[in-house]
Amino acid sequence: MKKLMFLAAAAACGAAFAVESANIVGYNSSTLAAGKYNLVSIPFAGVSGGTQKLTEAMSGTWLGGETYEEGDNIRVWNPAGQSYTIYYYYTDDTHQWDGWYDMGGSYYFDDCVENAGGLEAGFNFWYQSKGSVSPTVTTSGAIAPEDDVSITVYGGAFSLISNPFPVAFKPNDSKAVDWGNIHAGETYEDGDNIRIWSASGQSYSIYYYYADDSHQWDGWYDMGGSYYFEDVPGNENGIAAGDVFWYQSKDAKGTNHTIKFYNPTK
């Protein structure tokens, strides 16, 4: 379950946010599946429009522990290396050092070299819940100020993608997203794939980009090639704000391209 809210700039809603900002600010609240893998995105920039720290961008109820095996995990995908960096939520009886740490327990998430510059809007990760109670996660910040944001898709590889703007979007809507130099095909095996995770079922729904010589029916289709993405039951509103999906490029390895998301407030 997700709850998405926006408020006007702090000048109009200062009592609610107690920040100075010329940007539209808001939050996205989600209830995750207990004891399972969930995909989470932070579809916000910092309140000033730049990057933000994880501790600024995310709050919630999660299970802590003194070791990686005990505490809830965050797994951040590295598309270039096709590997994960893993963090966990540490806590002990004193609660003096509670927080997200690297897998070895030595550094806060925000202090690790790869995160020191802050997180861009659209930052995403796997959240592995270790408990029996569904954790809640609230992400917050401002809508990224750019007219559009480009994200790199790695050729011949898997990239974990999410909309950097906190709105739902329809994959076949060219006003919402430009897929760039997409690799199309007449079958699922040929065309680039999108894989959408179901936390409740712990499984994927797979779609691919269809095109033929006529280009009359180009677009994202279900795996069987029978229905446009948006015509599949449950997909009428597109991919929800804060949702994350795998993008599998069928291009040659190293042949990267960018996809562009458009700012809905512009």
Q: Answer whether 122's CB lies under 8 Å from 163's CB.
A: yes
Cα diameter, the chain = 67
Which residue, chain included where needed, has tokens 């990224």?
144
Q: Which residues contact 178 (CB under 8 A, 6 or more apart)?
A: 259, 260, 262
221-249 tens-digit pLDDT: 999 999 999 999 999 999 999 999 999 99
Tell which residue, 213, 146, 154, has the closest CA to residue 181.
154
Name the average pLDDT for the chain: 91
Mean pLDDT value across residues 131-152: 95
Q: What is the pTM of this model?
A: 0.89
Residue 75 scores a pLDDT above 60: yes
pLDDT at site 6: 47
CA 146, distance to chain mean position in Å, is 18
Lookup: tokens for 116? 């020191």
For residues 243 and 15, give the distance between their C-alpha atoms in angstroms, rounded to a whole number: 30
Backbone phi, then psi, for 65, in 5-degree steps?
Answer: -165, 170
* pLDDT-derived band at 266, boundaries 50, 70, 90: confident
Q: How many Cβ atoms are within 10 Å of 138's Cβ, its own excluded?
A: 14
Of 178 and 2, the structure prediction assigns the larger pLDDT to 178
Among 38, 202, 65, 29, smallest CA distance to 124 is for 38
> Would you state the pLDDT for residue 20?
40
* pLDDT level of residue 4 (50, 70, 90 thresholds): low
> Could you state, in order of their start, the residue ranges of all structural domains in the chain?
30-137, 148-262
Of 4-18, 97-111, 188-202, give the lowest mean pLDDT range: 4-18
* Whole-angstrom distance, CA of residue 242 vs CA of residue 259: 17
Task: Report the C-alpha gap between 51 and 116 in whole angstroms.
Answer: 10
- Convert the pLDDT of each residue in 22-61 to its tens digit: 566 889 999 999 999 999 999 999 998 899 999 999 999 9
Supply the pLDDT for residue 48: 87
Would you state the pLDDT for residue 10?
Answer: 34
pLDDT of residue 154: 96
More confident residue, 113 or 24: 113
85: Cα separation from own chain's centroid: 16
pLDDT for the residue numbered 16? 33
Average pLDDT, integer, range 164-174: 96
Percent of the chain past pLDDT 90, that is, above it, reads 86
What is the per-residue pLDDT across 178-224, written as a single tens digit (0 to 9) for each? Answer: 999 999 999 999 999 999 999 999 999 999 999 999 999 999 999 99
